[in-house]
Amino acid sequence: MRKLGGVRAPHRKGTAASAPERIPIPPEVRLPMSMHIGAPAKPVVKAGDAVKVGQLIGEASGFVSSPVHASVSGKVKRVDEYDAVTGLGALSVVIESDGEQTPHDGLRAPEVNDMKSFLGAVRESGVVGLGGAGFPTAVKLTVKDISAVDYILINGAECEPYITSDTRTMLDETELLEEGALLLGKYLGVKNIVFGVESNKPEPISRLAEFTSRRDGMEVRTLPAMYPQGGEKVLIYQITGRRVPEGKLPLDVGVVVLNCTTLTAIVKYIKTGMPLVSKCVTVDGSAVVKPGNVVAPIGAPLSSLFEFCGGLKGDVKKVLMGGPMMGIAAPSLDMPVLKATNAALAFSEKDARLPEETPCIRCGRCVSHCPMGLMPLEFERAYRLKKPELLERYKVNLCMECGCCAYSCPAKRMLVQYIKLSKIMLRERQAADKAAAERKEAAV
Amino acid sequence: MNELLVSVSPHIRDGATTRGIMRDVIIALAPAAAASVIIFGARAALVVAFCAVACPLLEAAYEKALGRKATAGDLSACVTGVLLAFNLPVGIPLWKAFVGCAAAIILVKQLFGGLGKNFANPAITARIVMLLAFPAAMAAWACGGGLFGETYDAVTGATPLTMIAQGNTGALPPLSAMLLGVRGGCLGETSAVALALGGVYLLARRVITWHAPAAFILTVFVFSALLGRDPVYQVLSGGLLLGAIFMATDYVTTPQTAAGRLVFGLGAGLITVIIRAYGSYPEGVSFSILLMNILTPYIGRLTAKKAFGGADA
Ligand code: SF4
Ligand code: SF4
């Protein structure tokens, strides 16, 4: 078996014992129509409309898309284009909350009795990959030939430092996970359902084992506490020994991976009819006064989460949505909690400071730590030489941007930044090549 | 509230720095430096210190003159200096050592763009330049002069390799002397024990991997034995251990993958044995490493890591 790279990042799971508390409903929430990968949802409300919790406000527009529901009751203040700093772009619906949290009258537990109705329910629940990826879950589960799938992996690795929201799911919603696993087995007919959890979470592991040991085809697998065990291809390899080939999906090797909180969100919808409208978020970081887990309505500004956790102290310099390895730096505290937001981290000046970049010494650390077996230093070189063909040869497309390379680089090269730029350069080259080929064809 | 900093992930980094790595290399070179003083006397310390200071100063001066950013603080020039000194006979006149330092830092390192850009190992290349420029001074092997006194053949000052080349194997120092380093040779290359200690330290600190040194040493061992030479003496003689542990592991001028490093060690080992057996120089480590440095980009291409799940390109 190939030993995949990775890094022993610090765990910093200080909030693991903090049971999530609901934050007070903020006066205003902002729900972007594009909280998922794929086509943005289409707003079905307009300014002035009254909405209630769970009401559809944006409908899925196409197959790879996901609906959006109101997370608070109140009045739609406006539907506007959101500042695209973070690439959220598209439209978003701003709701002024009335503080009542009145549930929408139309909410009813969906009737689920076969695969089709099960998938329909997943689609309507608005659930997307809650581990951070945000890929519409219904799309992931809609498989041409489900009989070719023999493994569903429930991802509870939670390998990012700081984040403990999935840990809380596994501890606080163990029954929902059991129900979810049974539903998956029943409606998708998949034989093996395996939970993957890193060894630094013994409590969730034993909790899950309580029911998996009683159930046929269910199992908890302890993974080494080495980032990034939760990366999809890494997880699949560690548990099933299968490699997802280049350009293929987990499905092609008979595997579907779902994040554990994604699964409980589906179960909640199927049981109550309440779609995904709130989210457990870990609030932590050196600038947070009282770190802990919170449950926040989707669309709540990050500032409301920090306020609930005692506010921010000192010189706040960086705020992250997600973990420190792959999270996105928020340009402002007004950024809303998205469906896939699992952490809001705030850091003081000292921890936010960017280390100085020094010349690459070709030490090979980025190579030996890359879980995908890539040569990150060559990406930077090819990018600087403006040679997309080298990027292609070194397979920049296989990079999952996990950050292990930049994390371990002694020269502090900003490798992931160069990789992102490299991917754009390669795409542009491919588009130009295609256009040229078409022109040539047209000329003939 | 002040502006939030927006940067691309990851937002945390581990503690390794270039300076820290170079510091580890200097620590790993310390036992051999100490051994050189014990074996060759105080002048060894003078030569090592001189080169260790001259190289960073040359780098700083060059960068200052060209208005470039000062980089001597990363300690890499200091490492080059110590390595170059280790490759010189203890009696080398300091001005000649200075010429070597200049060749290493200016010619090989800075003219190619500084740290990370040079294709050849600066210390090794500088040594070869000196061999060509000052053949007599570079072959003036002193032996003894330190705590052990003039134990072995100080008059001719031949190294074990020259003795073997001359067929004078009867005069070879005993194995214990070879291990401790009480023999003729460059000042930092003789003590196998001290060099191995440094190698173990570098392995333990994960500064180097075992691939290139192991392949290098093993190849010399096996290939020498095949040619009917005493493999143990071949491994302990000349600059083999110094080269295998400290030069064949130089990041910049050797491959980045495990497979590439094995190939590098293998190639360097083969070339070393061939030069020793058939060449006009009794010693071949410097040339073999330089040759493999030149081949490194090609080795890198041939041994590029196979991506996980990657289709064949
Ligand atoms: S880890 Fe950094 S310094 Fe080392 S080879 Fe990779 S990019 Fe270069
Ligand atoms: S970010 Fe990409 S290149 Fe870097 S370690 Fe992760 S997968 Fe490899």
DSSP A88-147: --SEEEEEEE-S--PBPTT--PPP--SHHHHHHHHHHTT-B-TTTT--BHHHHH--S-GG
- What are residue B45's phi and psi, to 5 degrees? -60, -40
Task: Compute the half-sphere exposure of residue A309: CA atoms within 13 Å on the CB side of its CA.
Answer: 32
**Residues A203 and A258 grouped into a single domain:** yes
Q: Which CATH number goes with the domain that contains A92? A: 2.40.50
Please give the distance, rounded to the nearest whole angstrom, from the Cα atom of residue A258 to the centre of ligand 2: 22
Which strand (E) or helix (H) includes residue A297?
A: strand A292-297
Examine the domain organization and report whether A217 and A144 are in the same domain. yes
Same-domain pairing of A85 and A126: no
DSSP string, B192-228: HHHHHHHHHHHHHTTSS-SHHHHHHHHHHHHHHHHTT
DSSP state of A327: P
- A405 C-alpha vs ligand 2 centroid, how far in Å? 6
Mutate which of B9, B117, B254 to test chain A, going by most A C-beta atoms within 10 A? Answer: B9
Helix axes B76-86, B122-133, angle to 10 degrees: 40
User: Is the dihedral angle over the CA atoms A401, A407, A409, A412 positive or is it negative?
Assistant: positive
Residue found by looking up tokens 């120092």 in the block: B173
User: What are all long-range contacts of B122-125, with beta carbons under 8 Å and residues at least 24 apart?
Assistant: B122/B80, B122/B84, B123/B80, B123/B83, B123/B84, B123/B86, B123/B87, B123/B247, B124/B87, B124/B243, B124/B247, B124/B286, B124/B289, B124/B290, B124/B293, B125/B290
Give the pLDDT of residue A207. Answer: 95
Does some domain include residue A298?
Answer: yes
Beta-bridge mates of residue A221: A196
**What is residue B152's predicted lDDT score, i.e. its pLDDT?**
47
Low-confidence ranges of chain A (pLDDT < 70): 83-89
Which CATH number belongs to the domain containing residue A340 in this structure? 3.10.20.600
Q: For residue B146, what pLDDT is reported?
A: 61
Q: Which phi and psi (to 5°) does residue A313 adopt?
A: -120, 155
> CB pairs below 8 Å between A and B: how many?
162
- Is residue A18 a part of any domain in this protein? no
Final residue belonging to a domain, choices A251, A272, A293? A272
Residue A30: inside a domain? yes
* Residue A310: count of CB within 10 angstroms of its CB: 13
Cα of A406 to ligand 2 centre, how many Å?
8
Distances (CA, A) of A191 to A137, A148, B36: 19, 11, 68
- Res B105: pLDDT: 96
Residues A150 and A238 in one domain: yes
The answer to whether residues A387 and A433 belong to one domain is: yes
From A5, A258, A4, select the one nearest A129 (Cα to Cα). Answer: A258
Ligand with smallest separation from the Cα of A365? 1
Supply the pLDDT for residue A3: 86
**Residue B235 CB neighbour total at 10 angstroms:** 20
- Is residue A349 included in any domain, yes or no? yes
Q: What element of type H or E holds A380?
A: helix A376-384
Note the pLDDT of residue B155.
39
**Tokens read off for A120:** 């329909």
ω before B135 within 30° of 0 (cis)?
Answer: no
Kindly state whether residues A121 and A237 are assigned to the same domain.
Answer: yes
Q: Closest by alpha carbon to B92, among B138, B46, B158?
A: B138
B74-95 burial: b if 16+ Cβ within 10 Å, else e: bbbbbbbbbbbbbbbbbbbeee
Q: State whether A251 and A141 are in the same domain.
A: yes
Distance CA A277, CA A298 (A): 6
B131: closest CA of chain A, how far (Å) = 28
Q: Does A170 map to a domain?
A: yes
Residues of chain A with C-beta less than 8 angstroms from the C-beta of B116: 359-362, 411
Q: Are residues A99 and A163 in the same domain?
A: no
Q: Total structural domains in chain A?
A: 4
Could you tell me the end-to-end alpha-carbon distance of chain B, in angstroms, rounded to an integer? 51
In chain B, which residue's Cα lies nearest the Cα of A314?
B1
- A294 and A240 within one domain: no
Residue ranges and CATH numbers for the domains of chain B are 18-302 (1.10.3430)
Q: Which residues of A touch B12 (CB under 8 A)?
A: 9-10, 161, 324-325, 407
ipTM for the whole complex? 0.91
pLDDT at B168: 74
How far is the alpha carbon of A417 from chain B, nearest alpha carbon, in Å? 6
**Residue at token pair 């100080």:** B154
Domain boundary among A74, A89, A107: A107
Q: State the distance between the two ends of chain A, measured CA to CA, in whole angstroms.
A: 51
Residues A128 and A98 occupy one common structural domain: no
Residue A177 in domain: yes
A140 part of a folded domain: yes
Residues A76, A53 share a domain: yes
Whether residue A16 is contained in a domain is answered as no
Which residue has a Cα nearest atom 2 of ligand 2? Answer: A399
Amino acid at A177: L
Residue A375 phi/psi, 5-degree rounding, is: -120, 80
Phi (first) and psi of residue B217, to 5 degrees: -65, -45
Q: Can you say whether residue B206 is alpha, beta or left, with left for phi > 0 and alpha for psi between -120 and 50 degrees?
A: left
Helix (H) or strand (E) holding A442: helix A415-443
How far CA B173 is from CA of A213, B222, B233, B241, in Å, comes to: 69, 22, 10, 17
Residue A51 is encoded by which pair of tokens? 């909405």
**Separation between Cα atoms, residue A18 and residue A1, nearest integer Å:** 38
Q: Which residues from chain A sit within 8 angstroms of residue B18, using beta carbons?
A: 358-359, 361, 410-411
Tell me how many degrees the CA angle A318-A276-A112 measures, rounded to the nearest 5: 155
Instruction: Please list every protein residue whose CB sits less than 6 Å from any atom of ligand 2.
Output: A 370-372, 374, 376, 399-405, 415-416, 419
- At position A311, the amino acid (one-letter code) is G
* Residues in contact with A50: Cβ distance below 8 Å, sequence separation at least 6, in sequence order: A74, A75, A76
- Structural contact between residues B54 and B78, judged by C-beta atoms closer than 8 angstroms: no
Q: Are residues A139 and A242 in the same domain?
A: yes
Domain that holds residue A306: 282-353
Residue with tokens 């007919």: A189
**What DSSP character marks residue A148?**
G
Question: Measured between CB atoms, which of B11, B117, B307 is closest to A324?
Answer: B11
B8/A355 touch (CB, cutoff 8 Å), yes or no: no
Domain boundary among A353, A378, A403: A353
Q: How far is the CA of A439 from the centre of ligand 2 (A)?
A: 36
Taking CA atoms, A172 is separated from A14, A142, A177, A207, A260, in Å, by 17, 29, 10, 10, 12
Taking only the tens of pLDDT, chain B with its 313 residues reads 568 899 999 999 999 999 999 999 999 999 999 999 999 999 999 999 999 999 999 999 999 999 999 998 999 999 999 999 999 999 999 999 999 999 999 999 999 999 999 999 999 999 999 999 999 888 877 655 666 655 444 434 568 887 777 777 777 888 888 888 888 889 999 999 999 999 999 999 999 999 999 999 999 999 999 998 899 999 998 899 999 999 999 999 999 999 999 999 999 999 999 999 888 777 889 999 999 999 999 998 898 888 888 765 4
| Chain A residue whose CA is closest to B74 | A358
Tokens at B287, concatenated: 């040339």
